[in-house]
Structure 1
């Protein structure tokens, strides 16, 4: 009798998943849906989730997982909790191609180091995925650790991760993706602190699987206008022999005409004159008051260099340096 009861208990126990297994399955299912919907918002990306796993790992174990040359981004959630998302080089290259050209070329692109522009163009996909993931689990107990995360910052070097991330346990999801109708493969890694800091749901209910409205992806013009632009305010420019430049030392005085204070030139990275202004102050800081921008012809032409002085005319052509 005892033997029969033991067999019956084993059979019934084996047929009923444990509560924590059900929780893991719900989170994996929610992330699969969130990834798929986030990918649908990018025409030409053709994202399909081929495989998805979840594990609880320590910080030391997590730091060994990001693929080589992956785009690494910090994500921030409730209570200033920090997590990590990594897009493999295959996912990143395909995403950039799809957003810039609307289609994906043949073959796998060469892996390269991600840039801040890549990160800016990937932030939309990351936020849509995180928002969808949190929404799927919003009515469950998992919302405490899964909800409220958003893209925070780009990391061009993985070494600071050990200092930025809290030394605690993490829920780590690894998604194997098929892209461009299966022509390319890639991986997305998502790590969230296991001990969440979000608010618990009023009543833990099964995850709501209703399709959420998908925000349209940013246009190429919107991405370009959001990219950082560097401007240089040029106080004065003079031409001197290279030998004089090499002889400069601390304490030397480089003459700057007083009139230069009213003739500040604003240049782009390519040296084009974009505007003019006057040097002044604002709330105790040095500032430039912009004047009327130059005409279209002047704006389209590079900044003219001063003609060579008598010393340059008397000597044979030699390398010169502009000190601005």
Structure 2
């Protein structure tokens, strides 16, 4: 091969190597960003706001942290819309929108655009909460879907939560929410390409209660060895007399001495629940040896609820002499005399009684028969004439 041919071959090889290097051949594949709860919430907010209210939202930053209820109350922004969430096993959560985020959502739904100016501070109303309810539910569903699709292990922590109602202030939060650790997502939002800047908070229980896994067949021997110890462990049941729903305004107005209406039939259908709120059995409220007591019904079916006024005569509670004890012993009443001609009438066979004879027709002429003549009236004599009436002041 001549020198010219060698030079041409080297030139072709160099060109191929350059093309390979430009194409990235030999380099490791670019690293794909790992899905996190913060990223899942960013995607969920953008998707839910677009599909629900056609609002363009970009989450500039998302911070996830653990906090207790008292810390949230201290950091609660003024004029924020606070909404209550309810999840599985009666868990509670919150979604909060500050004044600017709330204004952007309301403006988009009412005018079709977000006014590119900061909104005036005002207290949120119930109408604001109603207009945000569907959007909040869409955000919660999208957040769980993003986490579940990415296989996030904590996605179950915010699964099944839904909007319930607005809360008026920090006091209502403390009265409604349980003081346990919570997981808070603090999001800074850009709305409609900088028209407004706002914040939204999502809060869920940090460690929601988990159901115990079913034991496998291989654990049978170990379970048998621990059975005696477990049976001696202390457990806690709560007797629930009645659950009452009432407006938040009435709840915040409660004070010592306030009366709550409870149906009388509830004393016959007390519910016993475990620490997770699961119904275990039913019971009837009564007394035993001078103390309050519950008569347990282990049947899984709903109890038949008798009339509480007649409960003692139904045989439901009177079979236990210690339950609802009588104040004093009453002497037995003696037997009543039997009316003539009605012997055996108390046996309950009404058909065996004889028929009464027909009454004879009533004759007015004979109506007084048998009464006898009345005695004659004594002679009174002639009455004197009346005196002249002129003295009474009469006129001619």
- Would the aligned equivalents of 1:44 and 1:180 in 2 still touch at CA under 8 Å? no
Indicate the residue corresponding to 1:135 in structure 2. 145
Mapped pair 1:157 → 2:169: yes
Secondary structure of residue in 2 paired with 1:159: helix
Of residues 98, 111, 125, the one that matches 2:108 is: 98
Matched, 1:144 2:156: yes
1:181 to 184, 193, 198: 193
After superposition, what is the alpha-carbon deviation per residue over 1:17-44, rounded to whole angstroms, capped at 9, x for unaligned?
xxxxx8xx62111111111111112555
Distance 1:66 1:41, change over 3 A: farther
**Separation in 1, partners of 2:54, 2:95:** 22
Secondary structure at the counterpart of residue 166 of structure 2: strand
SS at match of 2:136: helix
Asked if 1:117 is matched to 2:123, the reply is no
Shift of the 78–44 alpha-carbon distance from structure 1 to 2, 3 Å rule, reads closer
1:37 aligns with one of 40, 47, 51: 47
Q: What residue number does 1:48 align with?
A: 58
Query: What is residue 250 of structure 1 aligned with on the other side?
Result: none
d(CA) in 2 for partners of 1:198, 1:29: 25
Distance 1:45 1:169, change over 3 A: same
SS at match of 2:170: coil
Question: Residue 43 and residue 82 in structure 1: after superposition, are their counterparts in 2 closer, same or farther (change >3 A)?
Answer: closer
Moved over 6 A (4+): 198-201
**By how many angstroms is 1:157 displaced?**
2.1
Q: Structure 1's 136 and 108: CA in aligned 2 closer, same or farther, altered over 3 A?
A: same
Find the residue that maps to 1:137 and give its secondary structure. helix
Greater radius of gyration (CA): 2
Structure 1 residues 63, 104: closer, same or farther in 2, change over 3 A? same
* Number of equivalenced pairs: 178
Query: What's the CA shift for 1:127?
Result: 0.5
Do 1:44 and 1:104's aligned partners in 2 also have CA atoms closer than 8 Å?
no
Residue in 2 that maps onto 1:168: 180
CA-atom RMSD, angstroms? 2.1
Deviations 1:140-160 (A, max 9, x none): 421331211111111122212
8 Å Cα contact 2:36/2:152 also seen in 1:
no
Stretches of structure 2 that go unaligned for 5 or more consecutive residues are 1-33, 214-396
Higher mean C-alpha deviation, range 189-198 or range 27-36: 189-198
Question: How many Å apart are 1:86 and its aligned residue?
Answer: 0.5
- State the match for 2:332 in structure 1: none
3-state SS of paired residue (2:153): coil
Gaps of 5+ in 1: 1-21, 202-324
Q: Secondary structure at 1:160's aligned position in 2?
A: helix
> C-alpha displacement at 1:106, in angstroms?
3.1
1:190 aligns with 2:202: yes
Residue 168 of structure 1: SS of its match in structure 2? coil
Instruction: Please identify which structure carries the higher strand content.
Output: 1
Instruction: Say if 1:158 and 1:186 are closer, same or farther in 2 by CA, change over 3 A.
Output: same
Structure 1 CA distance for aligned equivalents of residues 145 and 51 of structure 2: 17
Go from structure 1 to structure 2 and tell me whether the alpha carbon gap of 1:198 and 1:181 turns closer, same or farther (over 3 Å shift): farther
Distance in 2 between residues matched to 1:143 and 1:49, nearest whole Å = 19
Encode CA deviations 1:55-85: one digit per residue, 9 max, x unaligned. 0111211222222100000011111100111
2:77 to 55, 67, 84: 67
